[in-house]
Structure 1
């Protein structure tokens, strides 16, 4: 565990040099890759051997290196983990994690100490980080969207509002699975504009309306279901309650609130992979944003404060949390 950060640093270097893309066309030697990337041959070979030891690339008998299933997930032309590697391994995220102790001692985010602003305010002045963050959210949604529509039946809703829906991948997947439904994609104006090509490419633009705004101010009316994926966990209870109350102000009596966030266990009695992932994600929310992952009891309290009754909460086999509520 102590050396886990070294693996992240190695992955970041490889992805920054586009090694996974270069290996996609066939095996290459360290010298070939050095010429293609401008890197020094011996240090690059040592990086590649470390990555081979972790299954990211494979070293052949002739000394050349070749792709693996893991390296394919790090290519820039696939919706895998490249964006997440660049964000978590890059200097913006990396330096804030170095101030974790500050967060534990003060309750303030390490991100704000290091960068002088909370994450979402910081991204407004750093277009490169903003674009990377949006890419990471889209990549994650591409991986989960199919699972969401398999796990929850949206066919009974007439209009589905995706609150903080980013570039529209989840909503377009939902609308493809529920062909009679219409959708409203709601996010900040500059984010919504980037969704137009996705919505059009996926063939649901005739059934989907794009609305720009802030979910802290108001939420579009007219939905039967209000969806929030990876939104509520970004915010503390006060801010999360504001979002829920704004939805409560417009949702009809028979409407449904659907929150897709992890549901943490009430007590940590196991150290399985999903539990480790969930609790580390909670630390990430603590260090880098003002939010948190929540237990079912914490979701219930939050829903009550926002004007909703929690009707069900569960995790899928991949740790996707589905928390459903109805207007109280």
Structure 2
């Protein structure tokens, strides 16, 4: 997907985006990524195939490390990119994430429920692993293509609290993403 000309073009507009604001994608195409995908079947197919491939990898990693986390699930809501498959918030602004989290909280039983987020958690210390460089590169990808970003634990904590989730736990898995369990109580 990242080698598709439609996804390469924004990188040539990155400095303009930094100077003027907005997304590099909209500078390159005159619209946001979702608008182009809705009008261009090749871009849409390419994006959805990439998201489906990524979802398979992430869900395999989640299920290998998190089997007990899915016990007693009564309902599952998938808020995902492309055709769905794993939950993500990195391509949304902080304000939109808070709104999504508040809506998720409404659907979760307060005493027994939890929200499970699979997303990147950037490190802020010197304890890096072999995937941290790719996580930082994904932050640049989100900056160039969407209005989103990758977030540190402190940024996740702030979003979760503003969304009504005052307790959380981060679980590392063998993937770019981590599991973030968020509790509404």
> Contact between 1:263 and 1:314, CA under 8 Å: does it hold in 2?
no
Residue 132 of structure 1 is matched in structure 2 by 46
Q: State the alpha-carbon separation in 1 of the partners of residues 108 and 58 from structure 2.
A: 25
User: Does 2:153 match 1:296?
Assistant: yes
- Give the superposition deviation at 1:115: 0.7
Q: CA RMSD in A?
A: 1.9
- Give the superposition deviation at 1:317: 3.3
Q: State the alpha-carbon separation in 2 of the partners of residues 290 and 310 from structure 1.
A: 26
- Give the superposition deviation at 1:265: 0.7
User: Does 2:21 match 1:164?
Assistant: no
Q: State the alpha-carbon separation in 2 of the partners of residues 156 and 150 from structure 1.
A: 18
Listed as ranges, the gaps of 5+ residues in structure 2 are: none
Paired residues in the alignment total 182
> Contact between 1:303 and 1:325, CA under 8 Å: does it hold in 2?
yes
Residue 141 of structure 1 is matched in structure 2 by 55
User: Does 2:17 match 1:103?
Assistant: yes
Residue 131 of structure 2 is matched in structure 1 by 274
> Contact between 2:62 and 2:173, CA under 8 Å: does it hold in 1?
no
- 1:1-328 correspondence to structure 2 within 5 Å: 87-152=1-66, 153=68, 154-164=70-80, 166-167=82-83, 170=85, 229=87, 231-253=88-110, 254-267=112-125, 269=126, 273-328=130-185
> Contact between 1:262 and 1:315, CA under 8 Å: does it hold in 2?
no
1:156-186 CA-to-partner distances (Å, cap 9, x unmatched) read: 2122222237546x4xxxxxxxxxxxxxxxx
> Contact between 1:311 and 1:325, CA under 8 Å: does it hold in 2?
yes
Listed as ranges, the gaps of 5+ residues in structure 1 are: 1-86, 171-227
User: Normalization by structure 1: what TM-score?
Assistant: 0.52
Q: State the alpha-carbon separation in 2 of the partners of residues 255 and 322 from structure 1.
A: 16
Q: State the alpha-carbon separation in 2 of the partners of residues 138 and 277 from structure 1.
A: 19
User: Normalization by structure 2: what TM-score?
Assistant: 0.89
Residue 200 of structure 1 is matched in structure 2 by none
1:198-252 CA-to-partner distances (Å, cap 9, x unmatched) read: xxxxxxxxxxxxxxxxxxxxxxxxxxxxxx52x2001110111111111122221
